[in-house]
Amino acid sequence: MPPIKRKLAGVILPGAVLLSGCAHYGAARFVTDPPGAEVINLRDDTTLGTTPVKVYWKESDGQPKHVTVQFVKEGYRERITNIWVNMIYNSKDEALANAKPVRITLEKKQGGK
């Protein structure tokens, strides 16, 4: 291998190792009509907040994250939605500043059903 290529390989490989350990962030901003719905992550049944709410995720591989959430509000039908979150940001703050908007209209329950 010519000397120049060996030198470049020595520079590129350590950088590649460092990049593999970086965290990647993505975020969504959940908005419902009407507001005030509880947002539940169906993967682990955790409450993410009450709409409107911004939520972020952190991953090490940078691959898009599939998220399934449920919206619950007294007097309205429960609603479930699936989204893909792009894990393209280098910090939580950057992800939250660019949160993907997810808008959901909740349907009012009829009578005693």
Sheet of strand 38-41: strand arrangement: 46-50, 38-41, 65-72, 79-85
Q: Average pLDDT, whole number, for the chain?
A: 86
pLDDT digits (tens, 9 = 90+) for 82-103: 999 999 999 999 999 999 999 9
Dmax (CA) of the chain: 80
For residue 64, with 0-12 CB atoms within 10 Å meaning exposed, 13-18 middle and 19 or more buried, which class applies? middle
> pTM for this structure?
0.77
Answer CATH for 23-105 from 2.20.200, 3.40.630, 2.60.40, 2.40.160: 2.60.40
Cβ atoms within 10 Å of 15's Cβ, excluding its own: 9
Q: How confident is the model at residue 9 (pLDDT cuts 50, 70, 90)?
A: very low
